[in-house]
Amino acid sequence: MNDLYRFKKRSGVGTPMILAIVLVLLILICAVAEYSRIWIISQGVKEATQQAVLSTVNDNYNDVYHAVREGYAAGWSPDDRGGWEQSVDEGNVYAQLSRILGLSSEGGIYIKYSGGYAEFSVSDLTVEIQNNGLRSGQSAGYAAIAELKLTVPVRFLGIAFPPAQMKLHTAAKYIPLF
């Protein structure tokens, strides 16, 4: 009987340890969920940027096609003086991104809102069009390269932390199939 009383007296000693373990596991799950949210947003924005850059490259098909067909280079056309001038359209990647992602423009920064809160913002977009050289062998091909800054607010356990900022880089290249 004395042993049974001693066993009952200790029956709750493990409860604080179990609660601490559950609390630590919940915090770890929240951290993994926040990391996953940021990773998913960055991958979505990168894919949308890739789609916008591909659209820009495709918009230049009229300048690129005749050049490849005629045998000189992409994005060049004869000028009035007997020389060549570059004929390249950089497109409007911000407009494409806004359409694809549903962004709102606020003073040069494009922001995606969800539930009244900023989900992420996109800024500092640079698009560089690399034209073929006029002579064969001068360059690797006709390409569009884009780089932008993605800012994602970080919230953890109801506390706002400094936002995660990253540079996203994407490129598209025109390759004739004939």
In the chain, domain spans: 13-174
Token readout for 67 is: 């050049």
| Mean of per-residue pLDDT scores for the chain | 79
Q: Can you give the pLDDT at residue 5?
A: 56
Q: 177 or 162, which is more confident? A: 162
The rounded percent of the chain whose pLDDT value lies above 70 is 71
Q: Can you give the pLDDT at residue 73?
A: 52
> Whole-model pTM?
0.74
Q: 26 or 54, which is more confident? A: 26
Distances (CA, A) of 27 to 11, 17, 39, 73, 156: 27, 15, 18, 58, 9
How far is Cα 83 from Cα 81, in angstroms, rounded to an integer? 6
Q: Does residue 107 carry a pLDDT above 90?
A: no
